[in-house]
Amino acid sequence: MTDSLWYQDTVFYELYLRAYKDSNGSGSGDFRGAIEKLDHIQSLGVDCIWILPHYPSPLKDDGYDVADYYGIHPDYGSLDDFRAFLAAAHQRGLKVVIDLVMNHTSDQHPWFQAARQDRHSPYRDYYVWSDTGREYAGARIIFLDYESANWTYDEVAGQYFWHRFYSSQPDLNYDNPAVHEEMFNIIRFWLDMGIDGFRADAVPYLYEREDTNCENLPPTHAFLRKVRRMMDEEYPGRVLIAEANQWPQDLLPYFGADGDEFHMCFHFPIMPRLYMAIRRGNKQSILDILAATPDIPAGAQWLTFLRNHDELTLEMVTPDEREWMWQQYAPDPAMRSNLGIRRRLAPLIDNHKGKWLILNSILMSLIGTPIVYYGDEIGMGDNIALPDRHGCRTPMQWDDSPNGGFSPAGATYFPVNADAEYGYQRVNVAAQEDDPNSYLNATRFLLRVRRQHPELRQGQLIMLGNDDPAVFGYWRVLGDRRTLCLYNLSAEAASFSLDLRHYVGQQLVDLLHQGQTWRIAEWPIVIRLRPYASHWLHVRSET
Ligand code: GLC
């Protein structure tokens, strides 16, 4: 693997600056604070940090409403602080990817302010306007809990403007070449600063066309390919990542026919199916989505995750499956948001260590490049009393001192979680440091084993055939290296017989439970799986 393909073989850490570490007592995390915590990030064994939007913003959508693409939100520091963060991360060999919000700006962006005030302003055409608000009726509403239309009437402008998200986020008009120019300048600005790539937000929605659903349109792909071409020519080795919450067959075009669009796409649909499988004790949903996942071009890669800063999205499941997921995982309507579930990993799985290990072991060995969402490495909880998706964005819990060691301020942007089970007094980094059985050390351990075993990252994926719906297994094979990843998805013990005659004379070593070995002989090995067991069985010669 050449250096320029680094993103195919790494682990990402999703960092929410506001929540991470407050260096100056403002009650909000910032870049200087994040620098102090790079030791922690590095200790996990991740290789790349993705930071959520850091731009000046009125924060109506937590920074996904950008008011200035060239700056830093004052709560987070200055451009110099950003540079210092980047340099400190790079010094440790950590890459840094930033969010790029191309589809829309904040309504506070000077472009929109100029546009709404004057029909003849050159900025008017930066946005999408209508006299009637009736166009593009085929486009769905994404923020269903908050918006009733994709058009909002602006009194100042005397027209409706188009928005796919909050009405405080007017969509940019990609039919205007000046918008392309602006975006290219923004992209070059940050790449010149030395970042390693972009997570491009909400890319399916750049263009609108009548009689379509206004998603994944050909001109959208054409623009994105243009971005990629420029990056390849001027900034080789940097990565372009698509956030496109779509079905696998609609995702494939985002990699480009010849691998000439995005380097990476988030694989959204697999995520809810992992939760389905572990609740049903049945692997079928995972098998189905893997079967529907197409091969991707050489040089491309999936990004996989268990949770992120948004709701656990149920857009890519059937209506029946969605209903079932809500009943199982969000019995309290307050846990639901839009078409999803606004809870964190640990509470979703009832803080169950076995389920945690299964989900994380699958994440670290199945397909793609995994992402760890900040706080999930210690099993942080959520706070559904907070609005929208903020319940999963509470301060990082570093220790059991006031505010969980996050901030010396009297009041923080949102309170640190202090509930009985997940509060900072119990769940924090310091407490987990020395506990060999903690989530924190389990995360480090999984990443270490993954790093030591290239077959888990790059190997061919071969599903294990067997009849027990609860026994989920797959081989990862790379040259003569092979490891069988094996899980019992149910609360019942299972046993399973494995015919490994081809490897007689070698042994099977469990990478997840050191010391567990089996001699491989002519006859099948019987493997007994405890409820919710995880094993990575590596074939190794006896010497
Ligand atoms: C993406 C982000 C989400 C944001 C939306 C609009 O889906 O992940 O947080 O609200 O785009 O920018």
DSSP 8-state symbol, 171: B
Angle ∠(333,335,338) on CA atoms, nearest 5: 85
Q: Is 65 in the pocket of ligand 1 (CB under 6 A)?
A: no
Which atom of ligand 1 lies closest to the CA of 64? 12
Q: Is it the case that residue 2 has pLDDT exceeding 70?
A: no
Band (462; pLDDT cuts 50, 70, 90): very high
Written as six digits, the tokens of 349 are 């799985």
**Which one, of 125, 121, 187, 199, lies nearest residue 162 by Cα?**
125
Cα 160 to middle of ligand 1, angstroms: 22
Q: Is 202 in the pocket of ligand 1 (CB under 6 A)?
A: yes
Band (3; pLDDT cuts 50, 70, 90): confident
3 state SS of 103: coil
Q: What is the mean pLDDT of the chain?
A: 97
For residue 348, give every residue at least 6 positions away whose Cβ sits within 8 Å of its Cβ, in sequence order, or none. Answer: 275, 307, 312, 329, 341
Which atom of ligand 1 lies closest to the CA of 389? 9
Band (542; pLDDT cuts 50, 70, 90): confident
Q: How far apart are CA 525 and CA 237, in angstroms?
A: 46
The pLDDT, as a whole number, for residue 344 is 98
Q: How far apart are CA 27 and CA 262, in angstroms?
A: 37
The pLDDT, as a whole number, for residue 205 is 98
Cα 201 to middle of ligand 1, angstroms: 7
The pLDDT, as a whole number, for residue 543 is 65
> What integer is the mean pLDDT of 356-371?
98
Which amino acids are annotated catalytic? 201, 243
> What integer is the mean pLDDT of 520-537?
94
Least reliable range by pLDDT among 82-91, 242-251, 474-483: 242-251
Round the CA-based radius of gyration of the chain to a whole number and report it.
24
Whose CA is closest to atom 4 on ligand 1?
64
Written as six digits, the tokens of 122 are 């050159």
Q: Is 101 in the pocket of ligand 1 (CB under 6 A)?
A: yes
Which atom of ligand 1 lies closest to the CA of 166? 6
Q: Is 14 in the pocket of ligand 1 (CB under 6 A)?
A: no
Q: Is it the case that residue 1 has pLDDT exceeding 60?
A: no
Written as six digits, the tokens of 84 are 């210092």
Band (514; pLDDT cuts 50, 70, 90): confident
Band (169; pLDDT cuts 50, 70, 90): very high
Cα 202 to middle of ligand 1, angstroms: 7
